[in-house]
Amino acid sequence: MSELTTIARPYAKAAFELAVEKNAVAQWHEMLHFAGQVASDEQVNAVIGSLPSVSDQADVIIKVCADQLNEQGQNLIKLMAENERLAALPDVAELFAEFKAEFDKEIEVTVISATELAAAQQEKLGAALEQRFARKVKLNCSVDASVVGGLVIRAGDTVIDGSIRGQVDRLAATLQS
């Protein structure tokens, strides 16, 4: 996340609370994801940067998003423009997605292995991680030959390094100290 996270957090939190209240979390997630993509587009930023009025800047994003935004979403864009915070819109979308994942009791886990994991291995690993984290797990598997063997698992701030490379590095650090 960027340095705008602190600015984006209250907007994302307010939008999330409203979405929960209106039972429209999925709709708001889609809406903010789309608006965040629009706001991070270079061409849109060039147009917005050339406009002197914040209401004109908000209108550009609202018109580009068109039917993707409901009235409340448009109001959020206008409010952010009035407060000169449109640059934080992509971060609002990202934070909202994190709030949604927490609300849905989901966690995204990155698994790095030396070789491609078979479907059965992924299912078994996913089930074990769901039990460990007490959440629904979404696996993102990748291959990195420098792992040598074993797995490196990253879930939020948690890192489980069961790789041979990690063991060798820890052994080398122990021997040097």
**CATH 3.40.50 corresponds to the domain 105-176:** no
- Local structure of 109: helix, strand or coil: strand
Instruction: Please say whether the beta carbons of 31 and 70 come within 8 A.
Output: yes
pLDDT at 111: 95
Residues of the chain with pLDDT under 70: 1-2
Amino acid occupying residue 129: L
Cβ neighbours of residue 45 closer than 8 Å, sequence gap 6 or more: 39
Rg of the chain (C-alpha set): 21
Cα(70)–Cα(26) distance, rounded to whole angstroms? 13
Would you list the domain boundaries of the chain?
5-102, 105-176
Cα(52)–Cα(139) distance, rounded to whole angstroms? 45
Amino acid occupying residue 57: Q
Distance, C-alpha 132 to centroid of its chain: 22
pLDDT at 2: 60
CATH topology of domain 5-102: Peroxidase; domain 1 (1.10.520)
